[in-house]
Structure 1
Amino acid sequence: MDFLAGCFGGAAGVLVGHPFDTVKVRLQVQPVDKPLYRGTYHCFQSIIRQESVLGLYKGIGSPMMGLTVINAIVFGVHGNTMRFLEEDTPTNQFFAGAAAGAIQCVVCCPVELAKTRMQMQGIGEKKASRKTYRSSLDCLVHIYRQEGVRGVNRGMVTTLIRETPGFGAYFWSYDVLTRSLGCEPDSRFIIPKLLFAGGMAGIASWIVTYPADVIKSRLQMDGAGGVQRYSSIMDCVRQSIGKEGYMVFTRGLTSTLLRAFPVNATTFATVTLFLMYVRGAEEAPQNQQSGL
């Protein structure tokens, strides 16, 4: 039941958060010498004006497509790790979350690669005159034919660097917050408390991992236009800092933090309501967990 609840909650989170994610990616990878957007609001405004509201949902098929498998891995690994560790403590929650985050990268990396490529396709066009990719699946097939398995897993190391501490920080923060807020099944305002805990935990995990996310996005877009700019992760870091300074690691952060709270709040609300319906109002809050 946790798996099904996570799937529904994750899907709701994707629908709410994808526009913010599109803005984040556009800001992260736009050229520094000729930037298309001045900031988060200008990026939102430009996409809607030039590409319609649907432009904000480019690439949504990829996270939706991989959502079921990713949630299955995350919830399965987290639950089994907690049972192995036996004691439910914030520290063990961190290790269980980190293990789940690391293992689900096998699916997460290709999914985010397709999402990133689709989000950057047809910039400034309501209806792209020439599409390289027809869908997220077509994008992955296209990359596989040109670059093989290595191409489909482009950015795997940076995804691992981001997801391992990211999920660890999320589950740790969520556990600490729910304990502090007294999220017992019979406590008052249980759902608002869970929403707040989930939203704040999401923000905390993104702050910890955001620099790695910037590098991941750049590496996954590298070579898409036929030009290879970076030879390695460290080369990408050096070039990015050299041209844009250390503030490069905050590109798109505003959009990401704006996305983090409502996405996790939506996910938690959906998971809670689903578990209440299936298991009953008292048992539901005890067993639900959520992904980023």
Structure 2
Amino acid sequence: MASMKKDNRLTSSQSFMCVGFSGVFSRTLTCPLEVVKIKSQVGTFHCKRGFLQTFLLLYKHEGLRGFWKGNLASCLRLLPYTVVYVSTYKQIVHIHMDDLGFISQWRATLAGGMAGVAAALVTYPLEVAETRLVVQNCRQSTYVGVFHCLSKIYRNEGLPALYRGFSLTVLGAFPFSVGCYAVYMNLDKLWQDPPFRFSPLQNFINGCLAAGVAQTLSYPFETVKRKMQAQSARLPHLGGVDVHFTGMIDCFIQVVKNKGVLSLWSGLTANTVKIVPYFGLLFTCFEMCKQMCLYRNGYILSPLSYQLTPGVDQSLRPHELQEVQRYLRNRNYGSEGSALGNRW
């Protein structure tokens, strides 16, 4: 998957803020595609006529508001998901490093998959809430918000309902990791260049390719997971799911039996279309936030450009640069005081 490189000129809180804000911004702007994807996976009536008609039917029945259903739940997942993912990934990578601090690409990719499962475990109830909020009609809503949705599911269906389909996250992590690994192992052949020479544009394309291949391979698991999250005897039309089932395996069987194998990839068009604008907005917003922080820290002359501040060592960390600047200010102040004393 694509990732933002760590810049030591930012503090930990600034890096976290940049990642969080860019994630919320990109998710919010691409939310309509996510809503269409989830509705297609669940199988609600909106998606019976294809990708474009789904947008028109959704607007007709729910208005513009319907395109941002579940966005708050999706954004609330970012903070705990990122914290758990990063900490778990670092621990797994540290375990598998050799004495020289090297880890193979395959093990690093596998570590990413395992960290993703750990982060999903913590945030899974919010994903269930997102699915329920997306599937319902916001003009005739069963749930009036994220926390009302979580409390109502827990009260009426019990704690297991908040983790319904989680095993599919674990199963889907393996084809996802295989997809990422397959792409990254062939990048040098694709570009006819070693990875350390890749430009920012090439890295962006690499991230989109890895995301597209990995998500396509793991997509059937996500489709069944969304159906399991949405299905409930307490919701109108059993949550709008297009097949009836009693469990995970039965859901696979009923989908293939009644809808065909290709229906396991329902909504893939919306998911694929979403990849480029999502990562484009993510990286653009991250870079803008990063420039603001670098300007504030004193590394660049303007937040609108990357023109470096003359005389500033870019290898220094923020606290080190502050110490140097403080030392120079005190020294200049002392020199001015001595010159003034000599004049008197």
Of residues 256, 260, 267, the one that matches 2:271 is 256
Of residues 194, 197, 203, the one that matches 1:194 is 203
Contact 2:46–2:58 under 8 Å retained in 1: no
Distance in 2 of aligned mates of 1:49 and 1:84? 53
TM superposition shift of 1:156: 1.0
**What pairs with 1:169-184 in structure 2 (closer than 5 Å)?**
169-170=179-180, 173=183, 177=187, 184=196
CA spacing shift, 1:73–1:171, aligned 2, 3 Å = farther
Partner of 1:288: none
Contact 2:46–2:54 under 8 Å retained in 1: no
CA spacing shift, 1:7–1:93, aligned 2, 3 Å = same
**1:214 is aligned to 2:223:** yes
Partner of 1:287: none
Of residues 18, 21, 26, the one that matches 1:8 is 21
**What pairs with 1:15-34 in structure 2 (closer than 5 Å)?**
15-30=28-43
Contact 1:105–1:160 under 8 Å retained in 2: no
CA spacing shift, 1:134–1:177, aligned 2, 3 Å = farther
TM superposition shift of 1:167: 5.6
Structure 1: 5+ residue stretches without partners: 285-292
Distance in 2 of aligned mates of 1:265 and 1:176? 22
**1:51 is aligned to 2:59:** no
Contact 2:38–2:267 under 8 Å retained in 1: yes
Q: Which amino acid aligns with 2:245?
A: Y
Q: Deviations over 1:255-286 (max 9, x none)?
A: 111112221232233334444554667989xx
Distance in 2 of aligned mates of 1:107 and 1:240? 29
Give 1 or 2 for the bigger CA radius of gyration.
2
Contact 1:198–1:261 under 8 Å retained in 2: no
TM-score (norm 2): 0.70
Distance in 1 of aligned mates of 2:286 and 2:182? 19
Contact 2:85–2:119 under 8 Å retained in 1: yes
**3-state secondary structure, aligned to 1:230:** coil
Q: Which amino acid aligns with 1:198?
A: G
Partner of 1:290: none
Distance in 1 of aligned mates of 2:182 and 2:291? 24
State the Cα RMSD in Å.
3.0
TM superposition shift of 1:132: 1.0
Distance in 2 of aligned mates of 1:146 and 1:91? 43
Stretch of structure 1 that moved more, 198-207 or 164-173: 164-173
Of residues 138, 152, 160, the one that matches 2:170 is 160
Distance in 2 of aligned mates of 1:119 and 1:60? 9
Stretch of structure 1 that moved more, 232-241 or 220-229: 220-229
Partner of 2:250: 235
**3-state secondary structure, aligned to 1:133:** coil
Stretch of structure 1 that moved more, 266-275 or 199-208: 266-275
Partner of 1:92: 107
Distance in 2 of aligned mates of 1:174 and 1:45? 38
Partner of 2:328: none
Distance in 2 of aligned mates of 1:276 and 1:83? 31
Q: Which amino acid aligns with 1:15?
A: T
Partner of 1:106: 121
Q: Deviations over 1:43-101 (max 9, x none)?
A: 01221233222211111111111110001111222233223322243212212111111
The number of residues matched between the two structures is 274
Distance in 1 of aligned mates of 2:208 and 2:265? 20
Distance in 2 of aligned mates of 1:70 and 1:256? 20
TM superposition shift of 1:163: 3.9
**1:205 is aligned to 2:214:** yes
TM superposition shift of 1:35: 6.6
**3-state secondary structure, aligned to 2:49:** coil
**1:138 is aligned to 2:148:** yes
Structure 2: 5+ residue stretches without partners: 1-11, 300-305, 309-313, 316-344
CA spacing shift, 1:275–1:81, aligned 2, 3 Å = farther
Stretch of structure 1 that moved more, 246-255 or 158-167: 158-167
Stretch of structure 1 that moved more, 263-272 or 246-255: 263-272
Of residues 94, 112, 119, the one that matches 2:134 is 119
Distance in 2 of aligned mates of 1:182 and 1:5? 29
Distance in 2 of aligned mates of 1:257 and 1:39? 15
Contact 1:109–1:154 under 8 Å retained in 2: no
